[in-house]
Structure 1
Amino acid sequence: MERRVAVALWQSARPPHAFTEVWCQELGGLGELAALRARLRASMTGTPTVQDPERDHWSEQLVLIADELTSNALRHGGAPVAAVLARRDDQWLIAVRDAAAEVPPSPAQGRDPGLGGFGLYLVADLSTAHGWYAEPGAKTAWAVVDGSDGPH
């Protein structure tokens, strides 16, 4: 039963249409995650640091999602790794591509929570939509966050 829940949680699906790419950033290692987080915040709220936690909670959800997806890609997927930020009205899409087309996202199962590996569950909980898809030579995991509570 637990395996079916995890598989159902991360279905192969393309992201919703009509998002416009804001930027794409290639990453070579985990040391570049701080710069990615700052760039995400700056793109969504106008500042690279959290200024108003009450107002910026939605953007911090996307920052956390991006951090989880990107660190997974860097640890398990292999180079090249790229993160794409896209927007459609008040919806924000983060899509992270890596070279492991044959390795689908796999939420941790039957593991002590202290050992980690539960980031994909977190992504599913924080996003309004999420999924992944494979193409020849690449896999992309993606998630959408609703920014309607944020600045316009």
Structure 2
Amino acid sequence: MDTMSVTVVPAHSATSVAVARDSARDFLAALPEPLAAEAAETVVLVVSELVTNALRHGGGTCTLDLTAHPDSIEVTVHDLSPQAPLMRTPDLNGGTGGFGWPMVNRLAHTTSVRHRPSGGKTVSATLAR
């Protein structure tokens, strides 16, 4: 099993999200059995959404963990907020979002949100290899 962990800092959140995406691409490229291009880009999209949400709504800092299992890739993001992501109707006119969490749930085989004993939460998405 291959794993990687990246702490994403809030200094420039757009830059931080880009670093998370690049880290995910590097992790996937280094796997002994590479993913198909479409599967890899799906993992990167989920990383981007979960890290963006953690920085925006989860206290401004997060840690990204990626784990390669034989049949799946697990994307896990830890942040400081106890508030779970909400499934809501996307805002098509006001620009307040609502697209990311439903999209992650459609792309992933499973998602979970766990509250951490030390505070905050862990959001995980498992995607097919």
TM-score, normalised relative to structure 1: 0.71
Which amino acid is the alignment partner of residue 37 of structure 1? R
Match of 2:18 among 30, 34, 55: 34
SS across alignment from 1:113 = coil
Q: Tell me the distance in 2 between the aligned counterparts of 1:38 and 1:68.
A: 14
Residue pair 1:127, 1:144 contacting (<8 A) in 2 also: yes
The amino acid across from 1:107 in the alignment is M
Equivalent residue number for residue 100 of structure 1: 81
Q: Which runs of 5+ in 2 are unaligned?
A: 31-35
Which one-letter code corresponds to 1:75 in the other structure?
R
- State the Cα distance separating 1:108 from its structure 2 match: 2.5
* Structure 2 SS opposite 1:133: strand
Note if 1:126 corresponds to 2:107.
yes
In structure 2, relative to structure 1, the CA distance for the partners of 1:27 and 1:94 (3 Å cut) is: same
Paired-residue identity, %: 27
Alignment of 1:70-89 (within 5 A): 70-89=51-70
Instruction: Tell me the TM-score normalized by structure 2.
Output: 0.83
Aligned pairs for 1:1-152 within 5 A: 20=1, 22-29=3-10, 30=13, 31-46=15-30, 55-101=36-82, 103-109=83-89, 111-114=90-93, 115=95, 116-136=97-117, 137-147=119-129
Q: CA RMSD in A?
A: 1.8
1:15 corresponding residue in structure 2:
none
Give 1:86 shift.
0.7
- Bigger-Rg structure (1/2): 1
| In structure 1, C-alpha distance between the alignment counterparts of 2:91 and 2:72, rounded to whole Å | 34
The higher-RCO structure (CA 8 Å, 6+ apart) is 1
